Structure 1
């Protein structure tokens, strides 16, 4: 979701190379962003939950990483609930002369360009737009012809299990936080309904979600189970081939947006949809956005019965797939 901002920085004639610093969780995606020349991996104690402890030794590893490129400019692309200031302090101590970021807190000498959320730009805006605004304030604009959409490169060829299918709908039932998962039984019923309607159902998921994807695919009765066998590059190719993707508020929703595929978004309102829903593609947003869990950022549902998502029926999802069929848009970047 920082991709448009990265492309803006990379388009500047004053920039020789763009090195991206990100966590181990985001490194695979960072390597697929157009405009990134090299990825530096460092798990940030104040950003990545439970990653590492903030020790002198761990912070020293960041100093060593930054020493190699010796950057002239750092653009810190934090989300709305993250602070750029601890990283800005580290970068300033490492000798970075120009740093830009967005912070509700006074930044003193830590930021040369500081945008204040709620004053310089609205709090409620899509995350890609937020990041692009930070880059623009630092002096970087998208090149002519770039529409500011999401983009990825480097997708791998389709696996044989998918290559021959023409009417593909992808179901991605998992998410790292249980508060953002539609009930598995609803996914199973949806897969069966979609199969009966003539769709080619493909179920995707991570290595730790193999049992879930097998269940949703009906152990082969309702669709092709690709759980645990799709790295991000393979997933991008599969989602690009699909007519529609059904997923919660999780990474594959944004991968689908980056390859131009419409999304049925099963969105739990624990975070605002206006900030985190798939950006720049046709979508149908499902889920009670006024539920009591709204804005809590809860990882486990605080409301018995998970009503914000459990209230969405399989029939509604199938109807949304039919609504979106044929509405594919051209992605901002070429997947190859």
Structure 2
């Protein structure tokens, strides 16, 4: 009998990428893996090895801009999940999230076995429960936390899988990246600077990012500036005359291919940082301490963290910087980035 397992991670692309090792562990023991993700995580889910299908759920207790909870929407979600006819679900959450509302909806959809980590008493909502702080150590990196949940459900990585992040970058994405870079005379060996972030408090200010591009170019690097479709004004400002501006011109797959051709990537704590890690490229992480770097810094690759980790915003989970002048990141100057990139390249 075919065994279908739902792996649920309802956050953004970066969160879904960090769940990749857990997805592969489940895939090693199941016949079919359905990644159940939020709309902000759909692109990443489509690149993960081991994922056979993707289902999208805009979850009101997870999405950054949550829709209202209504009987109609909840009923439609239950029907969507029920139609998947799953044998079990593995619910992946971060330390600050409860899996129990999600488990309730999965139960209503008829999922017979559910595994998750929960501080709160789950009653009959969970069949397998991990207790944070007991079964899951504090400040465990997110990929290891997700993998521990999958392992408690009975799924382990296969022999030879090192547990790092990974994505599948197909030939079409690689060709698209090459076509974007070729008119600028850029082949391999460049540095990528990605100035945007989905959470404003985690982004280097535009004038500092522009300074970083100019300093890298002055140090002899070809600099490629990337960004989402809504960030084209930002990337144009940051690239200036010294960088190659690809803002808004890459899909998620071709962005992965652009990152894969870089010698190093300079980026804040946002999805492309984890995408760079997933293609094995060293990362200069401009890391605002609003969340713990132990949990969220680029995983499994050589990295250098820049940013004041003792700043007053530490641990606040703030979406907008609460400190005038954004000192945790704007204290980073172009020369600091040049030094960090050189250290990573010299370590190749």
For the aligned pair, the TM-score class normalised by the smaller chain equals over 0.9
Shift of 1:176: 1.7
Total equivalences in the alignment: 324
User: What stretches of structure 1 move > 3 A for 4+ residues in a row?
Assistant: none
1:316 aligned to 328, 332, 336, which one?
A: 336
Conservation of the 8 A alpha-carbon contact between 1:256 and 1:262: yes
Confirm or deny that 1:128 pairs with 2:128: no
1:236 aligned to 256, 269, 281, which one?
A: 256
2:179 aligned to 137, 157, 160, which one?
A: 160
> How does 1:193-272 map onto structure 2 within 5 Å?
193-218=215-240, 221-272=241-292
2:36 matched residue in structure 1: 21
CA distance in 2, matches of 1:146, 1:179: 35
Confirm or deny that 1:184 pairs with 2:201: no
Confirm or deny that 1:9 pairs with 2:43: no
Confirm or deny that 1:298 pairs with 2:318: yes
Shift of 1:166: 3.0
Q: Secondary structure at the match of 1:9?
A: helix
Confirm or deny that 1:173 pairs with 2:173: no
Shift of 1:326: 5.1
1:331 matched residue in structure 2: none
Bigger Cα displacement from structure 2, 19-28 vs 64-73: 64-73
Which structure carries more helix by proportion?
2
Conservation of the 8 A alpha-carbon contact between 2:190 and 2:262: yes
1:157-186 CA deviation, whole Å, 9 max, x = no partner?
A: 223342542321000000122111112111
CA distance in 1, matches of 2:222, 2:178: 14
Conservation of the 8 A alpha-carbon contact between 1:166 and 1:200: no
2:112 aligned to 92, 97, 119, which one?
A: 97
CA distance in 2, matches of 1:282, 1:9: 27
1:334 matched residue in structure 2: none
Shift of 1:256: 0.2
2:129 aligned to 107, 114, 132, which one?
A: 114
Bigger Cα displacement from structure 2, 115-124 vs 282-291: 115-124
Conservation of the 8 A alpha-carbon contact between 2:189 and 2:261: no
Unpaired segments of 5 or more residues in structure 1? 329-336
CA distance in 2, matches of 1:116, 1:92: 20
2:62 matched residue in structure 1: 47
CA distance in 2, matches of 1:194, 1:70: 52
2:78 matched residue in structure 1: 63
Q: TM-score scaled by structure 1?
A: 0.94
2:97 matched residue in structure 1: 82
2:155 matched residue in structure 1: 140
Unpaired segments of 5 or more residues in structure 2? 1-17
Conservation of the 8 A alpha-carbon contact between 2:199 and 2:320: yes
CA distance in 1, matches of 2:211, 2:104: 51
Q: Secondary structure at the match of 2:126?
A: coil
CA distance in 2, matches of 1:52, 1:326: 48
